[in-house]
């Protein structure tokens, strides 16, 4: 009797579900609960719940007077007005200028230069002494045309017109190698425009300057007479060139071309050039070439400078020449020729 189990045994009712079915239902419920809890865990927290959780519980004792904790205040940045660009000056408007024709200026009136101190005469550069323009308008700043107007020589008896040829004789020899002053003498009386009065008597003296024009084809001496002095002391500046007896420009003379000297100089220069070129020919020393051929020509030109010497023009004293009057000569107010 001692080994017999006396505990009551309860037999399950026969209308209950089978054990496998119950285990399946329990597993399904557990799986659903697990899925629901996993979804709650991954869901975002509710802000209202967090706020409610952060509220401290009410104090158990008396309230303590504490200063409120003030959180950080927002910093307000003052907005400054945007800087404007510097004001530019107003643009000035200039209307386009009207196109005017270029002004035409009238040539200045001829000036009568003062006479020399030793003479009461003047040089008249106009059409004549006291000449009046018939039909001419008074001078003004208005544009003038290029029309040539006729003039009238009033003092015809005391005026030697431009273009008059005066015969003269050379008193000093001329040498183109030594330019300088020259002197001549009037060989015939010169009368005024109307031929009634002798204004420049024979024996009047001419004073001027000369220079040579001895280039190829021009073998003459150019003389310009600056002053004329009468025997009675009346002087006048004429500024007129000298010509030959027929009125050709310049005074012809004997031409010395220096042919022998130039030929000898050319031969000597050629010999020097050849000698220097031979002496300084190309020399080879250890593969180095030295050539000094240009030195011969330079040395020849320095030692023989007369190769390019111009021709010399000589005019002997007593040569017959002429003077071509370049301006009207006014002898008004001078004493008559005796």
CB 320 within 8 A of CB 169: yes
pLDDT for residue 53: 47
Q: What is the rounded distance in angstroms from the CA atom of residue 338 to the CA atom of residue 329?
A: 19
Q: Tell me which CATH code domain 148-253+315-330 carries.
A: 2.40.128.260
The pairing of beta strand 205-213 with beta strand 251-252: unpaired
Q: What is the rounded distance in angstroms from the CA atom of residue 236 to the CA atom of residue 230?
A: 9
Q: Which secondary structure element, helix H or strand E, spans residue 127, and what is its range?
A: none
Q: What is the pLDDT of residues 232-273, one digit of tens each?
A: 999 999 999 999 888 888 888 888 776 677 666 666 667 667
Say which residue the tokens 């010999």 belong to: 271
Q: What is the pLDDT of residues 289-337, one digit of tens each?
A: 555 545 555 555 555 555 567 778 889 999 999 999 999 999 998 888 8
DSSP category for residue 123? B
Q: What is the pLDDT of residues 153-204, one digit of tens each?
A: 888 999 999 999 999 999 999 988 888 999 999 999 999 999 899 999 999 9
pLDDT for residue 159: 93
Q: How far is CA 48 from CA 37, 57, 174, in A?
A: 21, 16, 135
The residue ranges of every structural domain in the chain are 148-253+315-330, 259-282+292-308
Q: What is the pLDDT of residues 41-90, one digit of tens each?
A: 776 666 554 545 455 555 555 555 565 666 566 665 565 555 666 666 66
Torsion angles phi and psi, residue 111, rounded to 5: -100, 130
pLDDT for residue 28: 87
Examine the pLDDT at 220 and tell me if it is beyond 70.
Answer: yes
């Amino acid at each position: 009797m001692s080994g017999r189990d006396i505990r009551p045994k309860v037999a399950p009712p026969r209308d209950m579900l089978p054990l496998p079915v119950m285990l399946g239902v329990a597993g399904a419920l557990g799986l659903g609960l697990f899925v629901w809890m996993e979804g709650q865990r991954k869901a975002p927290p509710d802000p209202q719940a967090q706020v409610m959780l952060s509220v401290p519980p009410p104090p158990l004792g008396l309230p303590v007077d504490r200063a409120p904790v003030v959180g950080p205040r927002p910093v307000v940045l003052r907005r400054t007005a945007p800087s404007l660009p510097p004001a530019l000056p107003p643009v000035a408007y200039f209307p386009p200028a009207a196109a005017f024709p270029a002004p035409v200026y009238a040539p200045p009136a001829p000036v009568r230069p003062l006479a020399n101190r030793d003479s009461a005469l003047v040089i008249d550069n106009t059409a004549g002494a006291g000449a009046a323009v018939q039909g001419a308008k008074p001078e003004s700043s208005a544009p003038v045309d290029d029309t040539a107007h006729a003039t009238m020589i009033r003092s015809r008896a005391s005026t030697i017109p431009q273009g008059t040829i005066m015969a003269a004789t050379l008193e000093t020899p001329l040498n183109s190698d030594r330019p300088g002053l020259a002197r001549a003498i009037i060989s015939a009386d010169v009368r005024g425009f109307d031929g009634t009065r002798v204004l420049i008597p024979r024996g009047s003296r001419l004073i001027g300057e000369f220079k040579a024009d001895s280039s190829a084809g021009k073998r003459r001496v150019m003389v310009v007479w600056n002053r004329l002095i009468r025997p009675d002391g009346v002087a006048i500046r004429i500024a007129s060139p000298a010509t030959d007896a027929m009125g050709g420009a310049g005074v012809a003379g004997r031409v010395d071309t220096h042919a022998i000297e130039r030929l000898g100089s050319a031969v000597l220069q050629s010999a020097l050039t050849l000698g220097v070129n031979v002496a300084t020919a190309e020399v080879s020393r250890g593969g180095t070439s030295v050539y000094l051929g240009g030195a011969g020509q330079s040395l020849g030109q320095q030692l023989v400078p007369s190769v390019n010497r111009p021709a010399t023009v000589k005019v002997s004293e007593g040569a017959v020449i002429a003077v071509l009057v370049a301006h009207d000569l006014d002898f008004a107010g001078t004493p008559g020729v005796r």
